[in-house]
């Protein structure tokens, strides 16, 4: 009789995330009810299903803590410009094509690409979060997202009261969509698009809902200067005074933080992005010169379910997805050129 639903056997290496960060050799993993319940020597566990991991390194899934997955549709759309030029070009493109259907499509593409690179969890902020969540959930990824907040009516056509109503019903949206279990999040865009009073309102709502918060902060010096001119303080100080930081809060970017900001935030790490294996994997120029080879991620499980097998999605027809994406990109090119 099988003791486990799945046994990953004969793993050459297993990278753990225990207190000692051990790397084990020649071991097996026993999975029961979507949880790892045993690690033992290779060949000693029996399961209803067995995955032969000979020659493989088995590791915890990677977590991407700040994404806009739907923008995979806009990849390469604003090259060779500064940040402001990038934003202007991308915002124009978003206004032309980003409806719920295309957001779901772009998020599905971005989620699938994430899985194929070994990322099993993403924290994703974008328009039409319900559509985005449906698109991502179809791939099997653990997709954390939530209602997006601006003071003004955005491209989604929602006013402030609309956004609050969506937030209050977000738990039901997560339940209806299904997929891997994820915590509720609220997504105020930034301190320059959400006023101090509204930040206070979001902070209170997060406490009522037991939700976490994700927000952009100090992405560039221009943002800091704008907030200092308008409110006489840093973006971090605004969050602190509004009560946002009293909830579990994940900050996107945080590039330009003062010493005082850092004292408030406390838990920070600094990573050299130029070190080996930490440079961007999507190197557009390299792909133009020589696009060959494949990634090292063969198989991926999320919530105990295999969502990538031998480098291919088990849930999504990638060839069909590519055709649908190509249609949207062609529409964008046509409408963008006609609007100029």
- pLDDT at 267 > cutoff 60: no
Average pLDDT, the chain: 88
Q: How far apart are CA 103 and CA 81, in angstroms?
A: 24
Give me the phi and psi of 40, to 5 degrees please. Answer: -145, 180
What pTM value is reported for the model? Answer: 0.85
Domains of the chain, residue spans: 4-58, 62-265
Q: How far apart are CA 117 and CA 115, in angstroms?
A: 5
> 339 falls in which pLDDT band (50, 70, 90)?
low
DSSP structure string for 78-137: S-S--HHHHHHHHHHHHHHH-SHHHHHHHHHHHHHHHHHTTEEEEEE--SSHHHHHHHHH
- pLDDT at 280 > cutoff 80: no
DSSP structure string for 183-217: --EEEE--TTTS-HHHHHHHHHHHHHHT-EEEEEE
Residue 40 CA to its chain's centroid (Å): 33
- Give, in words, the CATH class of 4-58: mainly beta
Beta-bridged to residue 308, according to DSSP, are 300, 313
Q: Are 43 and 10 in contact (CB under 8 A)?
A: yes
> 261 falls in which pLDDT band (50, 70, 90)?
confident
Q: Are 109 and 67 in contact (CB under 8 A)?
A: no
- Tell me yes or no: is domain 62-265 CATH 3.10.100.10: no
> 287 falls in which pLDDT band (50, 70, 90)?
very low
- Enumerate residues 6+ apart whose C-beta is below 8 A from 322: none
> 11 falls in which pLDDT band (50, 70, 90)?
very high
pLDDT digits (tens, 9 = 90+) for 221-235: 889 999 999 999 999
Mean pLDDT value of segment 326-339: 82
3-class SS of residue 323: helix
């Amino acid at each position: 009789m099988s003791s486990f639903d799945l046994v990953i056997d004969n793993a050459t290496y297993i990278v753990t995330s225990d207190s000692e960060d051990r790397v084990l050799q020649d071991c097996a993993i026993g999975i029961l009810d979507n949880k790892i319940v045993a690690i033992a020597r290779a060949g000693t566990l029996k399961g209803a299903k067995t995955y032969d991991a000979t020659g493989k390194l088995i590791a915890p899934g990677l977590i991407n803590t700040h994404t806009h997955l739907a923008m995979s549709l806009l990849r390469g759309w604003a090259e060779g410009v500064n940040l402001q030029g990038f934003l202007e070009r991308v915002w124009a493109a978003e206004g032309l094509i980003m409806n719920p259907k295309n957001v779901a499509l772009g998020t599905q593409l971005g989620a699938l690409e994430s899985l194929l690179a070994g990322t099993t969890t993403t924290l994703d902020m974008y328009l039409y979060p319900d559509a985005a969540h449906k698109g991502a959930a179809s791939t099997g990824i653990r997709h954390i997202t939530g209602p997006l907040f601006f003071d003004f009516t955005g491209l989604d056509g929602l006013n402030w009261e609309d956004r609050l109503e969506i937030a209050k019903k977000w738990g039901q949206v997560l339940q209806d969509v299904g997929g891997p279990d994820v915590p509720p999040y609220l997504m105020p865009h930034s301190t320059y698009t959400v006023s101090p009073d509204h930040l206070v309102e979001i902070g209170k709502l997060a406490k009522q809902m037991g939700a976490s918060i994700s927000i952009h902060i100090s992405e560039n010096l221009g943002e800091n200067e704008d907030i200092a001119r308008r409110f006489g303080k840093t973006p971090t100080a605004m969050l602190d005074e509004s009560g946002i930081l009293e909830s579990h809060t994940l900050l996107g970017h945080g590039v330009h933080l003062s010493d005082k900001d850092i004292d408030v935030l406390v838990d920070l790490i600094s990573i050299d992005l130029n070190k080996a294996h930490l440079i961007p994997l999507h190197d557009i120029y390299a792909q133009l010169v020589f696009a060959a080879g494949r990634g090292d991620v063969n198989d991926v499980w999320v919530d105990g379910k295999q969502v990538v097998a031998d480098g291919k999605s088990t849930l999504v027809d990638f060839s069909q997805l590519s055709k649908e994406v190509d249609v949207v990109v062609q529409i964008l090119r046509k409408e963008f050129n006609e609007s100029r």
